[in-house]
A = this chain, B = another copy of it.
Amino acid sequence: MLFDVNVIIKLKGGMLSPEAKAISHALSSLGMKSEYLNTAKFFEIGIEAENADAAKAKAAEMCERLLANPVIHSYTIEVKKA
């Protein structure tokens, strides 16, 4: 069964993000204020698995082994039927 898995990889709380700071500053320069701004990576992955739990486990393995750096990133996984 094919599952459509959304993975969001964020910096862990307390990590400095120069990218977010730069974007926030640029928005402000254009007259658009934001109270806070965080950036993250978003992946849509099609995973073939027996059930939703197995798809989630496969996505978690992808995060641990390649997509995320467990030292600085946290990730959330959302599984939907494709």
Q: How many copies does the complex hold?
A: 2
A54 at the B interface (CB under 8 A) = no
By CB atoms of chain B within 10 A, which of A8, A26, A43, A65 has the most? A43
Contacts of A72 in B (CB 8 A): none
- Bound CA span A19–B34, Å: 29
- Using known A-B contacts A40-B43, A41-B41, A43-B40, determine if residue A66 contacts B35 with beta carbons closer than 8 Å: no
19 contacts between A and B (CB under 8 A): A23-B67, A26-B66, A30-B66, A32-B62, A32-B65, A32-B66, A33-B48, A34-B46, A34-B62, A35-B47, A35-B48, A36-B45, A36-B46, A37-B43, A37-B44, A37-B46, A39-B43, A40-B41, A41-B42
